[in-house]
Amino acid sequence: QVGTIMSSMVWVLMIYSVITISLLAQHKNLANHIAMIYGTICALALASHAKTQFTDPGSIPQEAVPLASLFKQGITTHAMCSHCQTYKPPDSHHCRICNRCISRMDHHCPWMNNCVGAANFKHFILFLVYTWIGCVFALVLFSLNYFFCNSADCEFSTVLVQLVRLMTLLCICTLVFVSSMLMNVTYGIMTGVGTIDRLKKKADGTMYDSDEQPIK
């Protein structure tokens, strides 16, 4: 399954980066406490990844019924999921990959092998933040200790040079991708419109239309 492979790649690349930093510290190219800080950041990122992947994102149970508060607001018609054949609460969407309806679903993330919804959205944001910090931290370390250093203390062995070059490329690509995801998530939090709803609004040409009723 594609999701399983992609989510496993996250762990492999994170562990690879920790090994590279640890080798630099072992060869006295970095201080041990710097390597420990980076390892802690990666550990927090992987913990957030695991929490996002294995936490139920907010599946709508088969026996779900509309809340009484909706009837008090005058809402008498309710959506039904054509796939699950059950009640579909507002802001929920059916995921064809997971084959279930998810409360406040933002999107299905193959890197997590899970949907991102109401119950695991916080962990997803934490993973993005820790990953972003780790990429910036590593790039700063490499800039100071490899690219812009002419001292003999900064010289790496041939193997470490290749490891650092590869990790630098991975960090740059990851930083660009994660930065775009953070901007996307931040925009969703500020506007209250998730990724799926935003794409639907763009397709319908109603991106800038207000969902609020006019004051009479």
Read off the pLDDT of residues 155-167 as tens digits, 9 standing for 90 and up.
667 788 888 889 9
Tokens 């139920």 found at: 56
Higher pLDDT, 179 or 216: 179
pLDDT at 201 over 90: no
Quick one: CA dihedral 209, 210, 211, 215, positive or negative?
negative
Higher pLDDT, 117 or 81: 117
pLDDT in tens, 31-66: 899 999 999 999 999 999 999 999 999 888 876 666
- The structure's pTM equals 0.84
Rounded distance between C-alpha atoms, residue 11 and residue 126, angstroms: 16
Tokens 């980076």 found at: 38
Map residue 65 onto helix, strand or coil: coil
Catalytic residue ranges: 109
The string of DSSP codes covering 68-105 is HHHHHTT-----B-TTT-SB--TT-EEETTTTEEETT-
Higher pLDDT, 120 or 64: 120
